């Protein structure tokens, strides 16, 4: 019973805070928009008994999902979000891996300090950090003033309200999520493996490519998931740093909910977004399970 009670706690938590809200979103996505409170129909009225329940389910339809396939705004937003999230994840990996590797190779007495520096930005509000980049990247911001002072430019660089600013904001914001899992795997790596590879004739780069990279694979995958998943539905960064040409599904979702007040279509957008995120994760876990079974066999 103790084991059952221990396992039940996280499952009840997921049921209450994920599954039930997700089912509500699915129900809204199958509804029709209406000038009512809430702004959709049908609503379940249990006072009518079984007749009301049957009438409720009979009025649900997939018209909102069909509408998403007919308007190119939505599939372009999905594709643009996937492109931005994938490229931003790759850039974050390029920046984060050397930092994590340097932390893992640093002397033991320096590692707590380096870890503190990585997590230090979390002590400041996420919104304030994004707003600070607006001041840095604007036409009269710190970056352009510094470049003017160095004499490298004659006219200010237009960075704010472009996709470049979005990539900078995403990489800066989610960099710790890439560094920490990679550092956790590299810290456990046995340095004797690299020494043995070098003794057998491998150069440092070859030993790094053949030993360090494969051993840190789990950290790389975990970091990529931790960056890619929230970036795909990101709303704040593209809204503040991106321009009108920056099309991401998070912005579309916000506009449908709060500007157009079209909750059913917005819920359909959210359901498809969640499916896009869940399916690759399930396939990855299935592939990992198959590989473990092969290694065990």
Average pLDDT over residues 72-97: 94
Give yes or no for a contact between 291 and 284, defined as CB atoms under 8 angstroms apart. Answer: no
What is the DSSP code string of 146-179? HHHHHT--SS----TTSHHHHHHHHHHHHHHHHH
User: Is the dihedral angle over the CA atoms 208, 210, 212, 216 positive or is it negative?
Assistant: positive
Least confident of 106-110, 138-142, 289-293: 289-293
Confidence category of residue 297, pLDDT binned at 50, 70, 90:
low
pLDDT band at 295 (very low <50, low <70, confident <90, very high): low
Angle at which helices 263-296 and 217-232 pack, to 10 degrees?
170
Under CATH, which architecture does the 71-261 domain have?
Orthogonal Bundle (1.10)
Please give the structure tokens belonging to residue 242: 């991106």
Percent of the chain at pLDDT > 70 equals 99
At 88 the pLDDT is 95
pTM of the model: 0.87
Average pLDDT, the chain: 88
Q: For residue 177, what pLDDT is reported?
A: 94
Give the residue with greater pLDDT, 133 vs 2.
133
Q: Identify which of 83, 223, 94, 249 has the alpha carbon closest to the alpha carbon of residue 163.
A: 83
């Amino acid at each position: 019973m103790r084991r059952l009670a221990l396992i039940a706690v996280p499952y009840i938590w997921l049921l209450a805070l994920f599954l039930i809200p997700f089912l509500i979103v699915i129900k809204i996505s199958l509804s029709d928009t209406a000038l009512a409170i809430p702004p959709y129909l049908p609503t379940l009225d249990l006072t009518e008994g079984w007749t009301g329940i049957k009438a409720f389910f009979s009025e649900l339809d997939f018209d909102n999902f069909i509408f998403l396939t007919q308007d190119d705004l939505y599939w372009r937003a999905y594709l643009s979000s996937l492109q931005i999230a994938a490229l931003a994840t790759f850039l974050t990996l390029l920046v984060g891996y050397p930092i994590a590797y340097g932390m893992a190779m640093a002397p033991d007495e320096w590692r707590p300090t380096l870890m503190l520096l990585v997590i230090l930005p979390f002590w400041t509000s996420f919104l304030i950090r994004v707003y600070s980049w607006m001041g840095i990247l604007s036409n009269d911001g710190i970056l352009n003033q510094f470049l003017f002072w160095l004499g490298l430019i004659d006219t200010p660089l237009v960075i704010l309200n472009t996709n470049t600013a979005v990539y900078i904001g995403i990489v800066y914001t989610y960099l710790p999520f890439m560094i920490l899992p990679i550092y956790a795997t590299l810290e456990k790596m046995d340095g004797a493996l690299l020494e043995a590879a070098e003794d057998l004739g491998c150069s440092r780069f070859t030993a790094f490519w053949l030993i360090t990279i494969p051993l840190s694979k789990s950290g790389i995958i975990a970091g990529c998931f931790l960056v890619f998943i929230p970036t795909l539905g990101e709303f704040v960064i593209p809204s503040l740093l991106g321009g009108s040409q920056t099309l991401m599904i998070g912005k579309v979702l916000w506009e449908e909910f709060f500007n157009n007040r079209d909750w059913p279509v917005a819920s359909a957008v959210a359901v498809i977004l969640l499916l896009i995120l869940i399916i690759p994760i399930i396939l990855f876990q299935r592939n990992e399970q198959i590989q473990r079974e092969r290694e065990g066999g």
